[in-house]
Amino acid sequence: MRTRVLRHSEARGSAVPIKGVLSDYITLMKPGIVGLVLVSTLSGIYLASGGLVAPALLIWTLAGVGLATAGSAVLNNYTDRDIDPLMNRTAGRALARGTISEKNALSFGLFLVALSMAILVPRVNILTAALTATATFTYVVLYGMILKRRTPFANQIGGLSGALPPVLGWTAVTGTLGLEASALFVMMAIWQQPHALSLALKYRDDYKKASIPVVPVACGVNSTKLRILLYTLALLPVSVLPYFLGTSGAIYLGITTVMGIAYIGLSLRFHLSERKCSMFLFFYSIIYLTVIFTAMVLNTGV
């Protein structure tokens, strides 16, 4: 049973400025995550098309995937509305503060997802729409509503939804799945893990307070640090597959290899240290993904 938390706006009984509400709605959509998803989707599009893609298809695909991602973020905020006030990291979110009502957040999230389907089905293709819907369901329902509060390995399932964006870009162009798309999926699925674990280490006390059994809480700090190192080791050979499959060129291979070795080095140093968290490692994971996907787009099939 969810416990109703008294909202600040209810306690004050005052209206919230429109400008502030608009800002809260934008924040609710997690634009930073949407941006990363669109970059990885774009890489899939360019790999599949060899850099020659119809502008209309590019726009409709990015719009549909972006809206679904934003809608999923809003719905995730909705499902976490009872635990967000308990954690310092999330206590300032709009639903936790009461500046956006639960009903409005739910309606807004569902609207964004529905709008994405209304774009992807007629303007892109059924396969891309179906995979996008699968990613949304996996993240919001399987991860957010069912597994997150029950198992430390929830992120391994939730991360599958985050691994799909480059595949969506591929299927948008080709209408089919293939070995190349599978390589992108595996690469993203592995990347999700050290990225999420680094953040979980930073906020392990918050998660413990909210009774969320993330790996650092359930398995300990040292076990989490080892997992981060193992995932970064596994990421390097998988990340160079686009070169060997002929979809990216030598420049991509060089950049990805250097970035991957650096990621391993940072993870190893962190593993051997006495530190209990490393936000630098977390931010490097974002830089890593942005750089290799940018290289992938700029060095397609060269």
What digits encode the pLDDT tens for the residues 48-103? 998 789 999 999 999 999 999 999 999 999 999 999 999 988 888 989 888 999 99
Side-chain half-sphere of 237: how many Cα atoms within 13 Å? Answer: 4
Q: What is the DSSP string of 253-299?
A: HHHHHHHHHHHHHHHHHHHHSS-S--HHHHHHHHHHHHHHHHHHHHT
Residue 56 has which token pair? 């209309």
Note the pLDDT of residue 1.
40
Whole-number Å distance between alpha carbons of 78 and 103: 9
Note the pLDDT of residue 2.
44
- pLDDT digit string, tens, across residues 93-130: 989 888 999 999 999 999 999 999 999 999 999 999 99
Global pTM reads: 0.86
- pLDDT digit string, tens, across residues 173-218: 999 998 999 999 999 999 999 999 999 999 999 999 999 999 999 9
Domains and CATH numbers, the chain: 16-298 (1.10.600.10)
Note the pLDDT of residue 16.
54
300: β partners: 248
Note the pLDDT of residue 301.
60
- pLDDT digit string, tens, across residues 4-36: 444 444 444 445 577 778 899 999 999 999 998
Note the pLDDT of residue 20.
76
Note the pLDDT of residue 50.
82
